[in-house]
Structure 1
């Protein structure tokens, strides 16, 4: 070894050792691939680390199933002509005389604008008395009133209109065009038509969920499913409460992504590729495309299917690994379904830590070089 080599051998070795030590303590966005795999059950850790393939994407492709129970589906349409307690009726009575029982002089028509059916199903009509309205159609009630008045005024003519009523209304709230109480009428006897009557939803249809509360029963459906499949529509009942709200599901993005945040779902079904796109994708100069991880607590039945087992019980910690550099990596990321509360973590590329080490070493050399310059060495 020549004198020059001897002169620089120790400083170089010291710097190399300092770089190695510095690399161990350099700041990281989170664990690297090696550290995640070291925590697997296969290596006496507490989570199953599984590389995603076509079989895994099929086993985990579980979308949230929303829909109404058979009690909602089997309920028939209300016959809006049947009068019920709480309904409000409009009556008009014509008399074929100048000075009638109800009409004033010179007027032969008497309007009774709002006649409410009481809780027992009866209404009161002057000179006809207390009549049972509930259970009759407007035409049947018209005949009944006409019969009662015929003996007191010649050739009475009666019109009965069904205005509305507390007994045949539903309430709409949430992200809907017009919140309020709406009567169930012939054009609005189903959920879809009632939503249309209220001005539709005011949020993106892809993330709109419709909840119907009927007594102690509750049903929920995706807005898009309701309109794409008319068979899922249901008949409304008096007192139904309809709530329109935004999908509350979200995932968390961490690591070497353009954005680290809790991110709401933007569609009913969200793939890993779409989720990465939502946060701006990978970072070109630091992300490792072979280290895209999805952390999830998986139900036992799905975990057993993924792992080819049948002995697991209870929720299992699962870590799914996507390698975007594989020939089918992007296809698998496109097919892998993200679920509520998932955590997507992208590791840093190995050279990123090495670059940090080089920067640290270069930074430590600068003061040394400056000192030599100042001393004239």
Structure 2
């Protein structure tokens, strides 16, 4: 038996004794802590997402304000039989898709260059009417702002219809623009929305957009909207249903949910008293957990969960898993004993077979 044990039987990772040997109390470099209510409270850190005041306080863009790059539609009626702009006998002249140039001006025959940017369609109508009134009696002018490229936002990422969209009256806010682009194409619970505005950046959870109305911010020209899936993940190793790098499926993830996400504990191999969470903890949290003030830089922490304790399942339910964590479940002592016995019995069987062949 000793000979077989010394050969190094295969296993999924270190046992509890070997992990505890890495503690700072035993000249290792990791702090090993049993999870309790205090540890759970101190380590319950969830990424804070939200918009700054600059985003929240921005007023809604007036959709009727004309900007450089916009496209306008003009219809001009003249009260004469021989109009300046149209053919004889034609009561109205239609000027389709008049582009506002980079300086904010448009050109109207007999009215010349007219400043359009900064005016509403109604204000521009009055300006054009005044200019044409000198050339033709009692002209009537209609100005409409078409969907041009003056005030636009780009929507990219996990969205049904990526593209560049104009800011119009129905799409002046973030939620309305996302709806205009067909909505998110990933699970809403793990969707994140990032707004890039010049040098400013803001990120929120998609669900928070509807749970907190103040996050439904007004959009600005040249805003970039990025929809992406939550990239946080943890690694599951040891006696679990699956050993893999696993992405978060919810905004917050507890230890018990992480174990369930990988298929639970292996019923034939897992030791429920040995569930470990390995983490590089920021110094601020490490000092709070250890009740110290002298630690500097990230600290190696090993959190221990014993699911067999009276409140063990509750502790695992409340302990928050964070991005980059490693969740490791040790094998039950019986598993190694079983492997040893199998190796011994296999050796004896092989020896008996060889003896039988020799005879």
**With structure 2 as the length reference, what TM-score do the two structures score?**
0.96
- Equivalent residue, structure 2, for 1:182: 165
Aligned pairs for 1:137-148 within 5 A: 137-148=120-131
- Equivalent residue, structure 2, for 1:82: 65
For residue 331 of structure 1, the aligned residue among 314, 318, 324 is: 314
Aligned equivalents of 2:80 and 2:59: distance in 1? Answer: 45
- Equivalent residue, structure 1, for 2:252: 269
Q: What is the CA-CA distance between 1:154 and the residue it aligns to?
A: 2.1
Whether 1:46 and 2:68 are equivalent positions in the alignment is no
Q: What is the CA-CA distance between 1:375 and the residue it aligns to?
A: 7.0
Whether 1:134 and 2:111 are equivalent positions in the alignment is no
- Equivalent residue, structure 1, for 2:81: 98
Is the partner of 1:113 in helix, strand or coil?
strand
Aligned pairs for 1:19-58 within 5 A: 19-22=4-7, 25-58=8-41
Aligned equivalents of 1:225 and 1:245: distance in 2? Answer: 15
Aligned equivalents of 2:241 and 2:356: distance in 1? Answer: 42
Q: What is the CA-CA distance between 1:29 and the residue it aligns to?
A: 0.9
Worse-matched range after superposition: 220-229 or 359-368: 359-368
Aligned equivalents of 2:88 and 2:39: distance in 1? Answer: 86
Q: What is the CA-CA distance between 1:348 and the residue it aligns to?
A: 0.4
Q: What is the CA-CA distance between 1:141 and the residue it aligns to?
A: 0.6
Is the partner of 2:286 in helix, strand or coil?
helix
Contact 1:77 1:235 in 2 (8 A): yes
Aligned equivalents of 1:223 and 1:77: distance in 2? Answer: 20
Aligned equivalents of 1:110 and 1:326: distance in 2? Answer: 85
Aligned equivalents of 1:115 and 1:64: distance in 2? Answer: 48
Aligned equivalents of 1:278 and 1:239: distance in 2? Answer: 40
Contact 1:19 1:358 in 2 (8 A): no
Residue 371 to residue 129, structure 1, CA distance change in 2 (3 Å): closer
Aligned equivalents of 1:21 and 1:47: distance in 2? Answer: 27
Task: Please state which structure has a larger fraction of its residues in helix.
Answer: 1
For residue 289 of structure 2, the aligned residue among 299, 303, 306 is: 306
User: 1:146-204, CA deviations, whole angstroms, 9 ceiling, x for partnerless residues?
Assistant: 11111222221111111133331111111111111111111111111110111110000
Q: What is the CA-CA distance between 1:20 and the residue it aligns to?
A: 4.3
Whether 1:198 and 2:181 are equivalent positions in the alignment is yes
Q: What is the CA-CA distance between 1:96 and the residue it aligns to?
A: 2.0
Contact 1:85 1:167 in 2 (8 A): yes
**With structure 1 as the length reference, what TM-score do the two structures score?**
0.92
Residue 273 to residue 99, structure 1, CA distance change in 2 (3 Å): same
Residue 199 to residue 21, structure 1, CA distance change in 2 (3 Å): same
For residue 209 of structure 1, the aligned residue among 171, 192, 197 is: 192
Aligned equivalents of 1:177 and 1:271: distance in 2? Answer: 31
Is the partner of 2:273 in helix, strand or coil?
strand
Aligned equivalents of 1:200 and 1:374: distance in 2? Answer: 73
- Equivalent residue, structure 2, for 1:347: 330
Q: What is the CA-CA distance between 1:98 and the residue it aligns to?
A: 2.7
- Equivalent residue, structure 2, for 1:18: 3
Gaps in structure 2 of 5+ consecutive residues: none
Aligned equivalents of 2:132 and 2:87: distance in 1? Answer: 17
Aligned pairs for 1:144-163 within 5 A: 144-163=127-146
Aligned equivalents of 2:326 and 2:2: distance in 1? Answer: 36
Residue 362 to residue 85, structure 1, CA distance change in 2 (3 Å): same
User: 1:263-298, CA deviations, whole angstroms, 9 ceiling, x for partnerless residues?
Assistant: 111111111111111110110010011111111111
Is the partner of 2:147 in helix, strand or coil?
strand
RMSD: 1.4
Q: What is the CA-CA distance between 1:371 and the residue it aligns to?
A: 5.2
User: 1:226-284, CA deviations, whole angstroms, 9 ceiling, x for partnerless residues?
Assistant: 11111112111101111111111111111111111111111111111111111101100
Q: What is the CA-CA distance between 1:121 and the residue it aligns to?
A: 1.6
Aligned equivalents of 2:301 and 2:3: distance in 1? Answer: 37
Aligned equivalents of 2:98 and 2:2: distance in 1? Answer: 95
